[in-house]
Amino acid sequence: MPAKEKTFEESLNALEEIVQRLERGDVPLEEALAAFQEGMALSKQCQDTLEKAEKTLTKMMTENNEEIVFEESEEA
C-alpha cells in the first residue's frame, strides 16, 4: 500500500525543519545530502500544490467568462 502523500502544511513544516537542520551546519555530509534531496522533493510538492490551487482559484474567479490572471509578486 503506497504511503499517504503529505498535506501542503505537513510538507512545508518538514521542509522548514530540514532547512533549520542544514543551517545549523552540524549535519554529517551524507545526512546533509539526503536531507537536501528530501527538501528539494518537498519543495517541488509544495510548488505543485500551490500551482494547482492557483489554477482552481482562477477557474472559480471569472468575469464575463474571461479568466482573471494573478499577478506574480516580486518575491517569486
- Answer for the pair 56, 29: CB distance below 8 angstroms, yes or no: no
Q: What is the 3-state secondary structure (H, E, C) of 9-68?
A: HHHHHHHHHHHHHHHHCCCCHHHHHHHHHHHHHHHHHHHHHHHHHHHHHHHHCEECCEEC
Say what the pLDDT of residue 1 is: 47
Domain annotation for the chain: domains and CATH numbers: 8-67 (1.10.287)
What is the pLDDT, as a whole number, of residue 64?
58
9, HSE (Cβ side, Cα atoms, 13 Å): 0
pTM of the model: 0.74
Q: What is the pLDDT of residue 2?
A: 54
C-alpha cell at 14: 518538514
pLDDT average per 10 residues of sequence, the chain (76 residues): 80 98 96 98 97 87 65 63
